[in-house]
Amino acid sequence: MPEAVSHPAVASSRTCPDRSAGTFAAIDLGTNNCRLLVGVPTSSGSFRVLDSYSRVVRLGEGLAAHGLLSEGAMSRALAALQTCAQKLLRRPLRRLLAVTTEACRQARNGPAFVAEARAATGLPIRIISAREEAELAMESCAPLLRAHDRRALLFDIGGGSTEIAWIRSEARGSTELIGYVSLPLGVVTLAERAGLCCGTPEGFRHVVEEVVEELARFDRVHSIAREMRAGGVRLMGTSGTVTTLAGVALALPRYSRPLIDGRVLDTGAADQALRDLFALGPDGLRAHPCIGPERADFVLPGCAIYAAIRKVWPSSSVTVADRGLREGMLLRMMRQELAAPRRAASWQRAAAHPAP
């Protein structure tokens, strides 16, 4: 679906004759965070980051209890989107994509909020489906696959949901989404639950078993565990949960994306990091240099979902990806822009040499 050309920074760039040139921007308004990424293509088929922004907005706060986005949550999200819009006015853009995910999919007033956000900021924000969310995560993480990988199982533990993507990897470097499932369980929804919580051993086990039951149904459809036993399947994770586990396992004094993104982590080390996090308690989580007070409440719920994934799909290692929807959107836009001149040239050749 093409983006609406409403933001002035996008409209002013449409006169640029070189479709491979220019700046691209992606905005991901999630259940917990609002994130912006701005980049330019590189000759290697990737991109160079020019600007980034992330703000905790807690858009899904209270959603599970009331089925609605709260006034406070919408105000925080709108303020963050306005900051993104102001940042984008600083440079002309080739293309812009702006999406929102599970919180707006679930909330009865989600579409109304998105319409308000579009009108207030000029950003062409839209609600994407769970399938498109899984496809974008796949697109961002595909560069981490290797030639011997015939399949990949990618998990993305979000604020309001968890996406699981079952991927076929082709020898020529392309990927195909074989199947996906979106569980309505994320770190925010679990953190806000009443009763059993992930901070106690009993509550943690309860959440693990609940998620295991959901994942087992998906496994029965695609026989993923059997495929993993046969070999050639890469387990990959993209979320704050798995990057935090990697940071703790590596005993980093502070979080460092270059040391984490693409790291192949032994799952035994990740499991030990999970136990270490559980032992820290609330105060220890808030003080940890790889976590901090804003994320402390969401670490153990994410760890419970990760533990369920490990239980259903045992693997000797997990590839950690500090990348997500924003990176997937940038790569998709750049690929589409490069493909457009090729299609035009193909049509021109066909018109010049019609079939007899």
Q: What CATH number does the domain containing 179 carry?
A: 3.30.420.150
Residue with more model confidence, 60 or 5: 60
Q: What is the pLDDT of residue 193?
A: 84
| Structure token digits, residue 138 | 């796949």
The answer to whether residue 35 sits within a structural domain is yes
The answer to whether residue 351 sits within a structural domain is no
Read off the pLDDT band of 268 (50, 70, 90). very high
Nearest to 56 by CA among 31, 33, 79, 82: 33
The answer to whether residue 344 sits within a structural domain is no
Phi, psi angles (nearest 5°) of residue 32: -120, -35
Considering the entire predicted model, what is its pTM? Answer: 0.86
Q: What is the pLDDT of residue 134?
A: 92
Sheet holding 24-29, edge to edge: 47-56, 33-41, 24-29, 95-100, 125-127
* pLDDT (tens digit per residue) in 289-299: 889 898 899 99
Asked if residue 109 has pLDDT above 90, the reply is yes
CB neighbour list of residue 330: distance below 8 Å, 6 or more residues apart = 24, 25, 26, 37, 39, 47
Q: What is the pLDDT of residue 170?
A: 81
Q: How many domains does the chain have?
A: 2
Asked if residue 132 has pLDDT above 80, the reply is yes
- Looking at the fold, whether 144 and 115 belong to one and the same domain comes out as no
Residues of the domain holding 280: 131-320
Residue with more model confidence, 347 or 212: 212
- Looking at the fold, whether 143 and 259 belong to one and the same domain comes out as yes
The answer to whether residue 203 sits within a structural domain is yes
Mean pLDDT of the chain: 89
CATH (domain of 66): 3.30.420.40
- Looking at the fold, whether 110 and 144 belong to one and the same domain comes out as no
| Least reliable range by pLDDT among 57-66, 71-80, 91-100, 332-341 | 332-341
Q: What is the pLDDT of residue 43?
A: 86
Q: What is the pLDDT of residue 354?
A: 54
* pLDDT (tens digit per residue) in 142-200: 999 998 999 999 999 999 999 999 999 986 668 999 999 999 999 999 998 866 678 89
The answer to whether residue 284 sits within a structural domain is yes
The answer to whether residue 178 sits within a structural domain is yes
The answer to whether residue 333 sits within a structural domain is no
The answer to whether residue 220 sits within a structural domain is yes
CB of 325 closer than 8 Å to CB of 133: yes
Provide mean pLDDT across the span 214-221. Answer: 96
Asked if residue 227 has pLDDT above 70, the reply is yes
Nearest to 131 by CA among 156, 98, 96: 156
Q: What is the pLDDT of residue 17?
A: 46
- Looking at the fold, whether 231 and 302 belong to one and the same domain comes out as yes
- Looking at the fold, whether 276 and 305 belong to one and the same domain comes out as yes
Asked if residue 7 has pLDDT above 80, the reply is no
Q: What is the pLDDT of residue 223?
A: 96
Which of residues 128, 163, 194 is at a domain's end? Answer: 128
